[in-house]
C-alpha cells in the first residue's frame, strides 16, 4: 500500500464530471494529462478499461501490469501496461492504497452463476461497457472487453489461490490519480452490483477529473 496525495486543484480541471451509480463514462485522456477518479461516498467499485486512442487493439493488460510490478494490487507508482507491454498510464497519487485487477466485471452470466437465475436480468458492468461503446459508435465489441481494473475494490487472494469479494477499504473522498503516458481512451462502468459487498450493497456516485499536462 503506497499512499500519496496530489497537489492538483479541482477548480483548474479541464473536465469535472459526476458519474452516477450504474452509469458508464467514456473519455479521452491526452498524453501527459492527469486523470483522477474520486470515490465520492466510499466503498464503491469502479470497473475501468483503457485503450490506446489511436489503436484500440492495444489495451490494458492485467497480466503485463502484474508481471511488470511483481505484485497483484495497483497503487502509487504502478504503470498500467498494455498487451504490448507498454505503459498506458502511471498511477501518480493514491489515497486509497490498493486496487484490484483480478476480479473482472460483473455480467448477466456471472450474476446468474454466483447469485441465482433470478439475478440474470440485473444491470451489470458488461452491460454498461457495451452500451457506452454502442452509443459512441466505437469499433469495439464483447471480445474487446478484457480483464479490467476495479478501482477501490477489495478482492483478497486466499492462501489456496481463490478470490473473495470483501468490504472495501476506501472511504468518501478518496481518489486515485494517473498520468497518461500516451493518448488513451478510458471506459468506466460505475458498478451497479448489489449482491456482494464490493459496493457496500449500496452503489454510489463517483467523480472524474482531467487536468492539462502543464497543471503541475
pLDDT tens string 123-150: 679 999 999 999 998 888 888 999 999 9
Residue 80 neighbours by CB under 8 Å, 6+ apart:
50, 60, 65, 74, 87, 88, 89, 90, 91, 149, 178
Q: Is 113 helix (H, G, I), strand (E, B) or coil?
A: helix
pLDDT tens string 59-115: 999 999 999 999 999 999 999 999 999 999 999 999 999 999 998 888 667 656 666
H-type alpha helices, the chain:
62-69, 108-115, 125-136
- The residue whose grid cell reads 448477466 is 108
How far apart, in Å, are the Cα atoms of 2 and each of 5, 78, 84, 97, 100?
Answer: 10, 10, 26, 5, 14
91/189 Cα distance (integer angstroms): 19
How far apart, in Å, are the Cα atoms of 17 and each of 10, 152, 160?
Answer: 11, 18, 41
**pTM exceeds 0.85, yes or no:** yes
> Taking the CA atoms of the chain, what radius of gyration do you get in angstroms?
16
- The residue whose grid cell reads 467499485 is 45
Amino acid at each position: 500500500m503506497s499512499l500519496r496525495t496530489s497537489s492538483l486543484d479541482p477548480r483548474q480541471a479541464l473536465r469535472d464530471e459526476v458519474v452516477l451509480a450504474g452509469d458508464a463514462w467514456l473519455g479521452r485522456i491526452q498524453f501527459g494529462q492527469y486523470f483522477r477518479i474520486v470515490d465520492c461516498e466510499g466503498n464503491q467499485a469502479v470497473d475501468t478499461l483503457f485503450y490506446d486512442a489511436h489503436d484500440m487493439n492495444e489495451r490494458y493488460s492485467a497480466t503485463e501490469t502484474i508481471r511488470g510490478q511483481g505484485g497483484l494490487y495497483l497503487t502509487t507508482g504502478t504503470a498500467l501496461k498494455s498487451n504490448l507491454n507498454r505503459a498506458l498510464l502511471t498511477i501518480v497519487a493514491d489515497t486509497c492504497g490498493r486496487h484490484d485487477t483480478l476480479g473482472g466485471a460483473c455480467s448477466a452470466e456471472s450474476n446468474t452463476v454466483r447469485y441465482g437465475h433470478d439475478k440474470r436480468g440485473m444491470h451489470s458492468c458488461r452491460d454498461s461497457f457495451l452500451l457506452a461503446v454502442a452509443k459512441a459508435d466505437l469499433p469495439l465489441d464483447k471480445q474487446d472487453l478484457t480483464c479490467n481494473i476495479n478501482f477501490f475494490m477489495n478482492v483478497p487472494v486466499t492462501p489456496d489461490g481463490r478470490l473473495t469479494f470483501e468490504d472495501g477499504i476506501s472511504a468518501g473522498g478518496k481518489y486515485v490519480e494517473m498520468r497518461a503516458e500516451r493518448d488513451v481512451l478510458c471506459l468506466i462502468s460505475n458498478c451497479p452490483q448489489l449482491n456482494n459487498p464490493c459496493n457496500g450493497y449500496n452503489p454510489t456516485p463517483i467523480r472524474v477529473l482531467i487536468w492539462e499536462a502543464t497543471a503541475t
